[in-house]
Chains A and B, each alone.
Chain A
Amino acid sequence: MLYIKCPYCGLRAQKEFSYGGDATVKRPNINEEVSSEDWDNFVYMRKSPRGKHIELWQHIAGCRQWIKVQRDTATHEIFQTAKVTEEIR
Chain B
Amino acid sequence: MHKYSVFSLIKNAFSNHQNWEVAWKDPTPKSEYDVVIIGGGGHGLATAYYLAKEHNIRNVAIIEKGWIGGGNVGRNTTIIRSNFMYDANARFNEFGMDLWRNLSQELNFNVMFSPRGIINLAHSDAQMNAYARRGNSMRLNGIDAKLLDRDEVKKLIPMADFSDEVRFPIFGGLMQSSAGTARHDAVAWGYARQADDMGVDIIQHCEVTGFDVVNGKIKGIRTSRGDIKAKKVGLCVAGSTNILAEKLNMTLPIETHVLQACVSEPVKPLLDGVVTFGAGHFYISQSDKGEMVMGGDLDGYNSYAQRGNLPTIQHVLTGGLALFPFLSRLKMLRTWGGIMDMSMDGSPIIDKTHIEGLYLNCGWCYGGFKSTPVSGWTFAHTIAQDQVHELNSELRLNRFSTGHLLDEKGLGTKTWIG
CB distance from B385 to the nearest CB of A (A): 28
Asked if B410 CB lies within 8 Å of chain A CBs, one says no
**Inter-subunit contact A73/B414 (CB<8 Å):** no
**Inter-subunit contact A47/B251 (CB<8 Å):** yes
CB distance from B316 to the nearest CB of A (A): 14
Residues 214 to 266 of chain B near chain A (Cβ within 8 Å): 242-243, 246, 251-256
Residue of B254, B304, B309, B344 contacting most chain A CB atoms (<10 Å): B304
Asked if A74 CB lies within 8 Å of chain B CBs, one says yes
Number of contacting residues on A, CB 8 A? 26
**Inter-subunit contact B309/A44 (CB<8 Å):** no
In the complex, the chain B residue whose C-beta lies closest to that of A46 is: B255
Asked if B4 CB lies within 8 Å of chain A CBs, one says no
Chain B residues with CB under 8 Å of A71's CB are: 301
Chain B residues with CB under 8 Å of A40's CB are: 400-401
Chain B residues with CB under 8 Å of A36's CB are: 401
**Inter-subunit contact A50/B310 (CB<8 Å):** no
Asked if B413 CB lies within 8 Å of chain A CBs, one says yes
**Inter-subunit contact A2/B309 (CB<8 Å):** yes
Chain A residues with CB under 8 Å of B413's CB are: 43-44
**Inter-subunit contact A44/B253 (CB<8 Å):** yes
**Inter-subunit contact B309/A53 (CB<8 Å):** no
Residue of B300, B303, B309, B414 contacting most chain A CB atoms (<10 Å): B303
CB distance from B4 to the nearest CB of A (A): 39
CB distance from A77 to the nearest CB of B (A): 11
**Inter-subunit contact B300/A41 (CB<8 Å):** no
**Inter-subunit contact B310/A1 (CB<8 Å):** yes
In the complex, the chain B residue whose C-beta lies closest to that of A37 is: B401
Number of contacting residues on B, CB 8 A? 24
CB distance from B257 to the nearest CB of A (A): 9
Choose the segment among A14-22, A26-34, A59-67, A80-88 that binds chain B (4+ C-beta atoms closer than 8 Å): A14-22
CB within 8 A of B304: which of A14, A21, A73? A73
CA distance A36 to B252 in the complex (A): 15
Given A48-B254, A76-B303, residue A15 in contact with residue B242 (CB < 8 A) = no
CB within 8 A of B254: which of A15, A43, A46? A46
CB within 8 A of B416: which of A1, A19, A49, A50? A19
CB distance from A19 to the nearest CB of B (A): 5
**Inter-subunit contact A21/B253 (CB<8 Å):** no
Asked if A45 CB lies within 8 Å of chain B CBs, one says yes
CB within 8 A of A1: which of B304, B309, B400? B309
**Inter-subunit contact B246/A49 (CB<8 Å):** yes
In the complex, the chain A residue whose C-beta lies closest to that of B241 is: A48
CA distance A36 to B398 in the complex (A): 12
CA distance A36 to B303 in the complex (A): 29
**Inter-subunit contact B251/A41 (CB<8 Å):** yes
CA distance A73 to B252 in the complex (A): 18
CB distance from A67 to the nearest CB of B (A): 13
CB distance from B95 to the nearest CB of A (A): 27
CB within 8 A of B242: which of A1, A48, A74, A76? A48
CB within 8 A of B251: which of A1, A19, A46? A46
**Inter-subunit contact A50/B304 (CB<8 Å):** yes
Chain B residues with CB under 8 Å of A15's CB are: 311
**Inter-subunit contact B253/A48 (CB<8 Å):** no
**Inter-subunit contact B255/A14 (CB<8 Å):** no
**Inter-subunit contact A14/B302 (CB<8 Å):** no
CA distance A75 to B301 in the complex (A): 12
Given contacts A45-B252, A45-B253, A76-B309, 13 further A-B contacts (CB under 8 A): A1-B311, A15-B311, A22-B255, A22-B302, A44-B253, A44-B413, A46-B252, A46-B255, A48-B255, A48-B302, A49-B242, A73-B303, A73-B304
Closest 4 CB pairs of A and B: A44-B253, A48-B242, A45-B251, A50-B304
- Residue pairs across A and B with Cβ atoms less than 8 A apart, 26 shown, are A1-B309, A1-B310, A1-B311, A14-B311, A19-B300, A21-B255, A37-B401, A44-B400, A44-B401, A45-B253, A46-B242, A47-B251, A48-B254, A48-B256, A49-B246, A50-B242, A50-B243, A50-B304, A53-B302, A55-B301, A73-B302, A73-B303, A73-B305, A74-B303, A74-B304, A75-B305
